[in-house]
């Protein structure tokens, strides 16, 4: 008896057997408005350390702002802040694991200082 199935449970990104080279990625900050003692610098440092542990080569990192973000000033809601990492090499599995997206998918993103 033989069974054949499609889509073995892996995403196309994870199934790719190549590394991304010199690419900028972003991830939305998990910090929310009115969060006391919140630090995007600490959140970015944690992300970079995690990526390096996962054998990604991080060239630079910064904070930014999704210029297309529309929100209201309400405690507990998103800030529109993004964490940006520029990598020299990173596997698709690491990109997926940490929820990174290509910065090119976010037209209008602007650099902003980390706090």
Model confidence pLDDT, tens digit, residues 26-53 = 999 998 888 876 789 999 999 999 999 9
Beta strands in the chain, from DSSP E residues, in sequence order:
20-28, 57-65, 81-90, 101-102, 110-112
pTM over 0.85: no
> Which candidate, 61, 66, 54, 59, places its Cα nearest to that of 95?
54
Q: What is the pLDDT of residue 67?
A: 81
H/E element, 34:
none
Cα separation, 10 vs 35, in Å, equals 36
Residues forming a β-bridge with 23: 87
Q: What is the pLDDT of residue 6?
A: 43
Model confidence pLDDT, tens digit, residues 69-101 = 777 788 888 888 999 999 999 999 999 999 999
Q: Where do the structural domains in the chain lie, given as residue ranges?
A: 27-112
């Amino acid at each position: 008896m033989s069974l054949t199935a499609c889509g073995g449970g892996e995403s196309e990104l994870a199934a790719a057997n190549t590394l991304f080279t010199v690419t900028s990625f972003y991830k939305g900050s998990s910090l929310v408005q009115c969060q006391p003692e919140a630090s995007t610098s600490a959140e970015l440092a944690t992300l970079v350390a995690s990526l390096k542990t996962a054998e990604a080569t991080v060239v630079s990192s910064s904070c930014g702002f999704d210029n297309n973000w529309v929100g209201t000033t309400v405690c507990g809601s998103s800030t529109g802040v993004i964490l940006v990492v520029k990598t020299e090499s990173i596997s698709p599995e690491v990109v997926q694991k940490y929820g990174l997206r290509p910065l090119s998918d976010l037209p209008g993103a602007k650099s902003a200082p980390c706090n």
